[in-house]
Structure 1
Amino acid sequence: MTHLYRAAAFWFWRQLFLLPLVLLSLSASAQGQLARYRTGKMQLDQGHYATAMQELEPLAQPINKFAQAGDAAYLYAVAATRLGQWAEAEQMLNLIRNQYPTYGNLNEALYLQGQVSFEQGDYDTALRTLGQLPAEQYGPLREAMQATYLARLKDRTTWQRLQKRYPQSKLIGRYYADYLLAGGSLNEADRQQLEALVSQFKLDRTRYATALTATGPAAPKALPRKGSYNIAVLLPFELQDNTWQTQRKNQFVTDLYAGLRLAQDSLQRTGHPVQLYAYDTGADTLTLKSILALPELAGMDLLIGPVYKSGAKLLARYAREHQIICINPLSQDADLVQDNAYHYLYSPSAATQGRVAAQFAASAFGTGRPAVLLHEDSKDENDFAAAYQAAYEAAGGHLLATHAFRPDDPGSLAAAFLPAELAGASHFVVASDARKAGPAAFTALAAVPAASRPALVVPGTWLDNPGLGVGQLGSAGVYYYHPKYFDTQRPGYRRFRQLYLAKQKLPPSVFANQGFELLLFFGNALLQYGPAFQSGLASAPPQPGAIFEGLTYPSTAHDNQTVPLFKLSNLEPQLVR
């Protein structure tokens, strides 16, 4: 007992002796953090923004328990905006709202968030965030910022979404009217919209008089049907380069064309001949421009191609000027077919995928609990996210959080995939095909207790991600939106595969599938409605596909509106929409 008593006494006096040293060490650490904060603030004041960000970033992290972490995060965001690093600023502002909700300068952070969202083209988030600011203090500042960025907005889809979401906003109404006025010749729908805006907000009618009385562009005229139709296929075959690298890179083009040729054979066998004329556009727009100058092209009944965005814009303009319908075989960019009666996307646009997925989620999961939406910071995924948010909120739901991320940046991934945000959500949407997004999503979900774990809605391309296990992919709460989904047991596909194997001695790729389905559908549209088949497609019921789930272009839609959603049951796809 004596030994135990002595040991205990030694430990007690030792701790008593060390306590001042520990307190001194803690005090020194706090002093060091404060010194670093002051340095960062001074660097910001002197215009050394990158250095300021380096000093302030660690102080803003909750793990370091800096007493003025909220201020450090806000000043970091200010420095990032001065450098035009909008994504970095947004991450830090999100950190403030999530980790420091009682931050005393929160209104200034929200005001800055408005600018950051505007600069990234996220008008919905910008207006919603600025709307949280007290009007008596921020009213004039808020309106000035909104006016500055609304005057720059040139995207019709965004304008239409904003006008529907804020129908009573005179500021949005006035700038939308100016946008319509600047667009030149208006169609009847635009003219009616402009008239409604002028009347509702009592705008200066003389300013818009010319646009309101002008005659819009004529609708496409019906053309006589023919026994056979000529179709130009404009793809980057790059036949002049026979290197294996080019051939391998362009395999998808070869497969797409092989599918088109097989559909041509199928149409021929049913007594509906079409003639394909292939043109090698190469990898640059100069070659495409030389092809568009050929007189023979103006005599075609349908154009298919190209695959690169710069060329797609050129061909779309040519299609409109020559009144020949053009089908883009691969793009998901709705902007390409905006305001062009002669341009169609074969695939559902990213925006259509977002809208359909949101409508499914609102029906399947309800709108009583919020959702969390993450998306890769790229054009298609940004379009998907904007459409998803608009459609989900229109259905009565709301988003607990939405984050853009860069999949190759570990810090960006970590800042977006936050398990704490998922616990109260009904579902979790991740719009990204990137390989690293899948593991990050399932890791975040695994940190949520099973009883409160949300459903997961993701692209069907995740099924091909080698970093994900079948146990994860087949989980009960995981749903996939997949425009390229098809049933391998469907008789139409099995017949197509048999014919393709006989011709090519290889099984068909998804690009071959798309080429076959594209020409079969639009070839039949030519034969049924003639070369100006816009009104025919607009009024036609949904068409089942020979391979894919179907194609439909109702009303004014110029991208396919059929987006399959499914889950895995015993690792077999089960369609839920």
Structure 2
Amino acid sequence: MTSALNRLQPLNGNNMKLKTLLLFVALIQSVVSMAQQDWKGDYTRAKQVYQLQKYEIAMEYFLPVTSPDAANPYASYAQYYYSLSAYKAGKYNEARQMLLQLINRDPNWKQISEAHYLLAGVYFELKQYRFGMTSLTFVQGMESSVTTFRQSYYAKIAPLDTLIKLQRVYSSDKELAKALFNQLAAYPVNSKNNMLYEYLAQEFKFTKLNRTVTYVTKTEYHVAVILPFNLSESNSENYKSGYAYEMYQGILTAVDSLKEDGVTIKIHTYDADRDVMKIQAILNYPEMKGMDLIIGPLFPSLIPYVTNFGELNNIPVINPISFNSNIIENKTQTLLFQPTLESIAGQVSSFAKEKFVYRKNSSKDNDLKPKNNVLIFYSTELKDSLLAVYYRDSLQVKGFKVSKFVKVTKENIGTVGKIFSDSISLLTTSHVFVASGEPVLASNIVSALEISRQNVPVITKSDWLDINNQTYEQFERRNIYIIYPDYFAFYTDAYRSFKAAYIKKYNVYPSKYTIIGYELMSLVGDKMRTAGTGYFNLMRTSPVSKGHFTAGYDFSKKPCNNYVPIYYFSDLKLTLANPFDEK
């Protein structure tokens, strides 16, 4: 039997048409063949990239395979691994979005519990704890993993107030109660949450720690000051011009004043640069275990050695300048004299919630309608980026909506003016938060607000005060608020007297580091006078303490300064916007 193709061959006159038709059919078949996606191959290649731990690249490989094609049996798996890659790359929002899509699209997927488990981890990383705990309730057949998850993530919940609130809501969760119990155990027996500690011990049969401590009043207290004086690099008195020496002079000045008030403190000075072996040698000196306090060190590589030494020997350690919350994590004897970035974000967002929700941005505005939109701008510096993220998260918990979250670079700084040109959006804007001290960004924002003629408050860093092309008149007119923890009132009679005595003794003007040293040692000495060797616990439980020249300090909520002073200009003078109640 001859084929249809053979039967057509004799038709010589139609050979050209026949060849064209065959070529067309072949082309169609080729296109169809190419259109048939190789799902298995693409998924396998994506898994190979994931196994190489190239997680951001793996996300790009998995993304096409997440297509909900009826012929694609790997879509749900690709969605899961895309999310897992995003989680490991620290891209938690992308992971959350894809996992929610997976759970909604394929709720009966055979590994859906693993998706809920991963989503819970994502929520905890985003500090959206209640969503995370809800996700855990959907996890089936993974009891051991869920328990491990709870033990690990619950221990990281901060601040303490958040953990307390969660435990009240999920009061039957034993692992959550255990995490709270462990954190409360680090506080002294006279702390404000001691009753809660006792309740948890009784309700869940937890074993209480022996927290009985006997405090004594001493005739002389010993304080180790470990700072980078760089004495080995100087053959003259030039080292005395450094910030470490300025802080040290402030400490000595406070010691002199305290002695007049009946508190004697002996300072032991140690020079520590970045040399780990040197700090280890210092900690091995026999006198170190007899210290009542260690101030410093300042370099991050040295800090863990000293804080661990303090924990082991029950000696308080105070870092005078760091904002890093990792230093105080899981520590009971360490204190940051400055607020952490998380504390700054939390306190400033609370201030904004109180002051900037019901207010007018223009004469046509209705201040009865709440303003919950916030614009956030931040620089490429790590510290600014972290502050912006913490502030965004803190705002969202308080019911704000972050309408713009912009990392400002040289390439996109022109978009700032466009954002402020939207007058309709500005009417619903509560405030602007700027985590950057860049002069160009500051000028752009102030100019844009001048043009808009809307009275939208701006909260920013104290770096703005050093910008030459911006005036205090502009800051006052444009409602600029300054986060300024280390501002000191240089115009008071008390400070003028201090400055005169300081210049007479050291022949230099006091710097901000001088004031930090002076305030730190003065506060410690004042508590020593009241509580003796129990001064550290008194600091941790006392309400806000007013500084000599600074706004104040509050260590009662967490082991860092939780009072964050915010200033604004009134009659061209910096004025405290959030004074604490001294009653």
- Contact kept, 8 Å, 1:406 with 1:413, in 2: the verdict is no
TM-score by length of 1: 0.66
Count of aligned positions: 501
**Alignment-derived partner of residue 218 in structure 2:** 225
Q: What does residue range 447-526 of structure 1 map to in structure 2 within 5 Å?
A: 449-451=452-454, 454-466=456-468, 470=472, 473-526=475-528
1:398, distance to aligned residue in structure 2 (A): 0.8
1:357, distance to aligned residue in structure 2 (A): 2.0
Q: Could you tell me how far apart the structure 2 residues matched to 1:467 and 1:112 are?
A: 53
- Contact kept, 8 Å, 2:319 with 2:337, in 1: the verdict is yes
Per mean C-alpha deviation after superposition, the further-off stretch among 498-507 and 373-382 is 373-382
Q: Could you tell me how far apart the structure 1 residues matched to 2:456 and 2:202 are?
A: 45
1:334, distance to aligned residue in structure 2 (A): 4.3
**Alignment-derived partner of residue 176 in structure 1:** 176
1:328, distance to aligned residue in structure 2 (A): 1.6
**Alignment-derived partner of residue 234 in structure 1:** 226
Residues 1:564 and 2:565 are matched in the alignment: yes
**Alignment-derived partner of residue 165 in structure 2:** 164
Q: Could you tell me how far apart the structure 1 residues matched to 2:474 and 2:143 are?
A: 47
Per mean C-alpha deviation after superposition, the further-off stretch among 266-275 and 140-149 is 140-149
Q: Could you tell me how far apart the structure 2 residues matched to 1:406 and 1:338 are?
A: 28
TM-score by length of 2: 0.66
Q: Which of 270, 274, 281 lines up with 1:279 in the alignment?
A: 270
SS at match of 1:530: helix
Per mean C-alpha deviation after superposition, the further-off stretch among 176-185 and 160-169 is 176-185
Q: What does residue range 193-232 of structure 1 map to in structure 2 within 5 Å?
A: 196=200, 209=205, 211-212=206-207, 214-219=208-213, 221-226=214-219, 228-232=220-224
SS at match of 2:294: strand
| Amino acid corresponding to residue 456 of structure 2 in structure 1 | P
Q: Could you tell me how far apart the structure 2 residues matched to 1:424 and 1:442 are?
A: 17
Does the C-alpha gap of structure 1 residues 521 and 392 become closer, same or farther in structure 2, counting only changes over 3 Å?
farther
- Contact kept, 8 Å, 2:120 with 2:131, in 1: the verdict is no
- Answer 1 or 2: which has greater helix percent: 1
**Alignment-derived partner of residue 110 in structure 2:** none
Q: Could you tell me how far apart the structure 2 residues matched to 1:411 and 1:56 are?
A: 30
**Alignment-derived partner of residue 432 in structure 2:** 428
**Alignment-derived partner of residue 528 in structure 1:** 530
Does the C-alpha gap of structure 1 residues 233 and 121 become closer, same or farther in structure 2, counting only changes over 3 Å?
farther
**Alignment-derived partner of residue 359 in structure 1:** 350
Where structure 1 has 5 or more consecutive residues not aligned to the other structure, the ranges are: 1-34, 58-74, 98-103, 200-204
Residues 1:548 and 2:558 are matched in the alignment: no
| Amino acid corresponding to residue 459 of structure 1 in structure 2 | K
Q: Could you tell me how far apart the structure 1 residues matched to 2:458 and 2:372 are?
A: 13
Does the C-alpha gap of structure 1 residues 83 and 124 become closer, same or farther in structure 2, counting only changes over 3 Å?
closer
- Contact kept, 8 Å, 2:224 with 2:293, in 1: the verdict is yes
| Amino acid corresponding to residue 343 of structure 1 in structure 2 | T
Q: What does residue range 6-17 of structure 1 map to in structure 2 within 5 Å?
A: none
- Contact kept, 8 Å, 2:335 with 2:559, in 1: the verdict is yes
SS at match of 1:573: strand
Does the C-alpha gap of structure 1 residues 148 and 402 become closer, same or farther in structure 2, counting only changes over 3 Å?
farther
1:291, distance to aligned residue in structure 2 (A): 0.9
| Amino acid corresponding to residue 334 of structure 2 in structure 1 | H
Q: What does residue range 66-215 of structure 1 map to in structure 2 within 5 Å?
A: 82=85, 86=89, 90=93, 122-125=125-128, 128=131, 150-153=150-153, 154-157=155-158, 161=162, 164=165, 167-169=168-170, 173-177=173-177, 179=179, 192=196, 196=200, 209=205, 211-212=206-207, 214-215=208-209
Q: Which of 243, 260, 264 lines up with 2:251 in the alignment?
A: 260
1:92, distance to aligned residue in structure 2 (A): 11
Q: Could you tell me how far apart the structure 1 residues matched to 2:339 and 2:401 are?
A: 27
SS at match of 1:157: coil
1:279, distance to aligned residue in structure 2 (A): 0.6
Q: Could you tell me how far apart the structure 1 residues matched to 2:234 and 2:463 are?
A: 31
1:511, distance to aligned residue in structure 2 (A): 1.0
- Contact kept, 8 Å, 2:341 with 2:390, in 1: the verdict is no
1:230, distance to aligned residue in structure 2 (A): 2.5
1:467, distance to aligned residue in structure 2 (A): 7.0
- Contact kept, 8 Å, 2:321 with 2:337, in 1: the verdict is yes
1:84, distance to aligned residue in structure 2 (A): 6.3
SS at match of 1:531: helix
Q: Which of 310, 324, 345 lines up with 1:319 in the alignment?
A: 310
Does the C-alpha gap of structure 1 residues 456 and 93 become closer, same or farther in structure 2, counting only changes over 3 Å?
farther
Residues 1:399 and 2:400 are matched in the alignment: yes
Q: Which of 322, 334, 342 lines up with 1:343 in the alignment?
A: 334
- Contact kept, 8 Å, 2:223 with 2:294, in 1: the verdict is yes
Does the C-alpha gap of structure 1 residues 260 and 184 become closer, same or farther in structure 2, counting only changes over 3 Å?
closer
1:478, distance to aligned residue in structure 2 (A): 1.9
SS at match of 1:533: helix
Does the C-alpha gap of structure 1 residues 505 and 520 become closer, same or farther in structure 2, counting only changes over 3 Å?
same
**Alignment-derived partner of residue 75 in structure 2:** none
**Alignment-derived partner of residue 61 in structure 1:** none
| Amino acid corresponding to residue 371 of structure 2 in structure 1 | R
Per mean C-alpha deviation after superposition, the further-off stretch among 176-185 and 250-259 is 176-185
- Contact kept, 8 Å, 1:306 with 1:315, in 2: the verdict is yes
Output one character per residue of 1:410-464: Cα deviation in whole Å (capped at 9) or x when no partner.
579979x96577552212333x34527943982796499544x632222223222
| Amino acid corresponding to residue 222 of structure 1 in structure 2 | Y
SS at match of 2:445: helix
1:284, distance to aligned residue in structure 2 (A): 2.8
| Amino acid corresponding to residue 157 of structure 1 in structure 2 | A
**Alignment-derived partner of residue 20 in structure 1:** none
Residues 1:439 and 2:442 are matched in the alignment: yes
Q: Could you tell me how far apart the structure 2 residues matched to 1:460 and 1:142 are?
A: 50
- Contact kept, 8 Å, 1:371 with 1:398, in 2: the verdict is no
Does the C-alpha gap of structure 1 residues 274 and 194 become closer, same or farther in structure 2, counting only changes over 3 Å?
closer
Where structure 2 has 5 or more consecutive residues not aligned to the other structure, the ranges are: 1-33, 51-55, 64-77, 108-113, 359-369, 579-583
Q: Could you tell me how far apart the structure 2 residues matched to 1:52 and 1:217 are?
A: 50
- Contact kept, 8 Å, 1:234 with 1:278, in 2: the verdict is yes
Residues 1:575 and 2:576 are matched in the alignment: yes
Q: Could you tell me how far apart the structure 1 residues matched to 2:80 and 2:469 are?
A: 34
1:118, distance to aligned residue in structure 2 (A): 5.1
SS at match of 1:532: helix
1:234, distance to aligned residue in structure 2 (A): 1.0
SS at match of 1:398: coil
| Amino acid corresponding to residue 564 of structure 1 in structure 2 | P
SS at match of 2:233: coil
Does the C-alpha gap of structure 1 residues 128 and 572 become closer, same or farther in structure 2, counting only changes over 3 Å?
farther
Does the C-alpha gap of structure 1 residues 576 and 185 become closer, same or farther in structure 2, counting only changes over 3 Å?
closer
Q: Could you tell me how far apart the structure 2 residues matched to 1:447 and 1:148 are?
A: 54
Q: Could you tell me how far apart the structure 1 residues matched to 2:61 and 2:410 are?
A: 20
**Is the radius of gyration larger for structure 1 or structure 2?**
2
**Alignment-derived partner of residue 69 in structure 2:** none
SS at match of 1:498: helix
Q: Could you tell me how far apart the structure 2 residues matched to 1:149 and 1:413 are?
A: 45
SS at match of 1:232: strand
**Alignment-derived partner of residue 296 in structure 2:** 305
Per mean C-alpha deviation after superposition, the further-off stretch among 508-517 and 556-565 is 556-565
1:197, distance to aligned residue in structure 2 (A): 10
Q: Could you tell me how far apart the structure 2 residues matched to 1:392 and 1:120 are?
A: 14
SS at match of 2:508: coil
**Alignment-derived partner of residue 24 in structure 1:** none
Does the C-alpha gap of structure 1 residues 455 and 43 become closer, same or farther in structure 2, counting only changes over 3 Å?
farther
Does the C-alpha gap of structure 1 residues 283 and 539 become closer, same or farther in structure 2, counting only changes over 3 Å?
closer
Does the C-alpha gap of structure 1 residues 371 and 128 become closer, same or farther in structure 2, counting only changes over 3 Å?
farther
- Contact kept, 8 Å, 1:389 with 1:399, in 2: the verdict is no
Q: Please provide the CA RMSD for this pair.
A: 5.6
Q: Could you tell me how far apart the structure 1 residues matched to 2:126 and 2:117 are?
A: 9
| Amino acid corresponding to residue 230 of structure 1 in structure 2 | H
